[in-house]
Chain A
């Protein structure tokens, strides 16, 4: 039959039905499609931000806005140092997530538990940093609809700087928060030997996909809000 002869033998084997063509169970396929979907959500936000920013005259200089550090004396000038620490924490939590997934592949329960705890700590640390930064900006007078910062050229700045900053970092923070909750559930399930009973740690792997995605989005958020 012509429909089968068009496919090469290996293709017919993996796509011929009766098994998953990607050798991935349905949950992982769903997670990948969900991440594509979520990429469009963030994409819409970031493109909206770009559109508004480039149709506005002047924009604050991030080096002048994000220059404080917790517990440092008032008026310290440490541009982007704090956000670099935040970014570092998040990326390290991605590394520990990879180690957890790898431990899961080796059916090493202790390794999974240790690395999941580290990942959760990393996520909570990132969220705490974000809370401090939001609180600090709020006390400087910044909020949705209020922008105390001046443009780089000294003129008054549009509130859309803070509007977009709080909306997008907030939406990302919400994703990190969800990720921490998911990771805590995964940790509890690991401790209850759920995955040992199932004979695989695929749930850890799917949670890992989500966690890496959230980190990747932060790289974009970090670039366009703090660097550009």
Chain B
């Protein structure tokens, strides 16, 4: 059997295609175009999700004020210029769903896994370009369905992004539980298919398509991070799918998987028997916790890469970085019940989950240590990408420390569902990963579009966003410690929370400024695609990885001639007095080992 022919039947990709508009920009099978499609769809979602947060922050900051323009924007959802409670919950829910899944999962790993994997491992394209295209179009379909759920008469789902039953299982439990919820489930099911098609491709490409000499320990850390991300996604999303299938049956076929003989206000006593709402929470968080790392790991990988390049130093502790990525990926599957300490979890079981949760601090600390030691005495270039990478580390430290608080069941029982939790996860995973994404966009924009982003706008964008992130989320720790619960529409009726009225207004004002700054970034992005400063050399950042050996605007197939062969790891910076030695340079006879 001609096995070798099978294994390499893929290499004849480099010949010129005759592309029409449709095959080049719409149904493209070029991984670089698919990456851009993911990025721009993700950006649209980020603007929508961000706008939602501005709207509900408006309500939290000015609970008594009335804004007539809101009624013209939202219609019946803002009667008299004030957001209704139903609309508030819908906004909070959709903000969470959109940001977690559509921006920070598809927008982040969809973009950078597609863009970087073939370029950095030295492959012409993904293992299956067709499946890769399908992955984007399933994501697009999921986006359309999720978007359409916002326009149904009863509104989008409004029971929180975690979609716990009974609110999600009973159509009559709330306005958002009606057809908005059905569309939410369909969108998420399509999303799972998209992430499965993408993930299988990323794994197979990294394992099988590496160029000659690119052994696993010569892979850039971005690729390792994206590999573990893909494995996490492939193994955890199907569990959510199972959970959602059971939810569909509970909603439409009279089953009792998650429902039992409880009384629900507005519905009455249920005739169901024997189900368990907690079961859904287990299934959800078995995805939900790995999901946190699906969001975080790509950012970690890109930050490692960007830090090493811009410090002109090898990454400190490559194997330790790899080991910590691996142990985070394993632990990700063993800690889900720390989201459920207040569900009546057996305290002994709780203590096991506390231990496993706190164990994550070890690999996280290793990573932080290695990032800081990579910076240590480096010849640092403060490009916007580098600033965002350093910002990521700062946010990861401050958010990670509160994670140690929340991982303790004894503390979590008091802090659960307060603004402390909001502050924690927004800093450590939301904003931090967003910073990783910005770092990636600033760093790889020249490779994507052959032009540079405007640096001055980049610095303004970074400093306002960095200061804003802390000004928004730092005060929420105080509110949370004082017991202010999350997901409440209006705090002004409680005497004990009146002291926070000023603070809430402050947070809301900052969040609007930060949102406006992101529009500045979008302007920079779209302007620079067409009018930015042209890239004049193949390797503008003087980096070692293979993507900078391609032409400035690589065609489908990436390298016009042979794929370069790899002779060294990607972190030979400032070695033997040489600033940088790309991976495709053979090892010299008199070269020292690193």
Inside 8 A of A23's CB, which chain B residues have their CB? 3, 7
What is the CB-to-nearest-CB distance from A25 to chain B, in angstroms, rounded to a whole number?
5
Contact A3 to B273, CB < 8 A, known contacts A44-B243, A167-B246, A200-B1: no
Evaluate contact between A15 and B255: CB separation under 8 angstroms: no
Given known A34-B200, A159-B274, A167-B255, contact A45–B234 (CB-CB < 8 A): no
A30, A52, A159, A163: the one within 8 Å of B128 (CB): A30
Q: Is the CB of B238 within 8 A of A200?
A: no
**A40 and B249 within 8 A (CB):** no
Q: Which of A10-28 contact B (CB under 8 A)?
A: 12, 15-27
When the two chains form their complex, are residues B245 and A18 in contact, meaning their CB atoms are under 8 A apart? Answer: no
Contact-size category for B: 35 or more
Q: How many residues of A contact B (CB 8 A)?
A: 54
Given the known A-B contacts A34-B196, A145-B253, are A26 and B205 also in contact in the complex, defined by CB atoms under 8 Å?
Answer: yes
List, in ascending order, chain A residues with CB within 8 A of B242's CB: 41-42, 44-45, 48
Q: Is the CB of B210 within 8 A of A17?
A: yes
Interface status of B225 (Cβ within 8 A of chain A): no
Contact B274 A19 (CB under 8 A): no
Determine whether the beta carbon of A2 is less than 8 Å from that of B2. Answer: no
Q: How far is the CB of B518 from chain A (nearest CB, A)?
A: 35
A108 at the interface (CB under 8 A from B): no
Task: Collect the chain B residues with CB atoms within 8 Å of residue A24's CB.
Answer: 208
Please provide the chain A residues from 84 to 121 with a CB less than 8 Å away from any CB of chain B in the complex.
Answer: 105, 107
B245 in complex: contacting residue of A3, A17, A158, A167, CB < 8 Å: A167
- Of chain B, the residue at the smallest CB distance from A21 is B207
Partner of A1, one of B8, B274, B594: B594
Task: Closest A residue to B215 by CB, please name it.
Answer: A16
Per-residue CB contact flags for chain A residues 157-184 toward chain B (1 = under 8 Å, else 0) read: 0111001100100010000000000000
Query: Given A7, A30, A38, which contacts B238 in the complex, CB threshold below 8 Å?
Result: A38
Beta-carbon nearest neighbor of A163 in chain B: B255
Q: Is the CB of A200 within 8 A of B2?
A: yes
Does B568 make an interface contact (CB < 8 A)? yes
A15→B215 contact, CB < 8 A: yes
Segment at the interface with A among B275-283, B349-357, B461-469: B275-283
A44, B283: Cβ atoms closer than 8 Å:
yes
Partner of A18, one of B211, B216, B235: B211
A132 at the interface (CB under 8 A from B): no
A40-74 interface code vs B (CB 8 A; 1 in, 0 out): 11111100100110011000000000000000000
B522 CB, nearest partner CB in chain A, Å: 35
- Complex CA–CA separation, A5 to B217 (angstroms): 11
Known A12-B215, A167-B249; contact A20-B208, beta-carbon cutoff 8 A: yes
Establish whether residues A2 and B7, one from each chain, have CB atoms under 8 Å apart when the complex forms: no
- A-B residue pairs, 4 tightest by C-beta: A145-B254, A18-B212, A44-B242, A17-B214
21 pairs, A vs B, C-beta closer than 8 Å: A1-B594, A2-B593, A3-B318, A16-B212, A18-B214, A22-B208, A23-B3, A25-B208, A26-B204, A30-B128, A33-B199, A33-B234, A44-B238, A44-B243, A48-B242, A55-B276, A146-B254, A159-B256, A160-B255, A160-B274, A167-B245
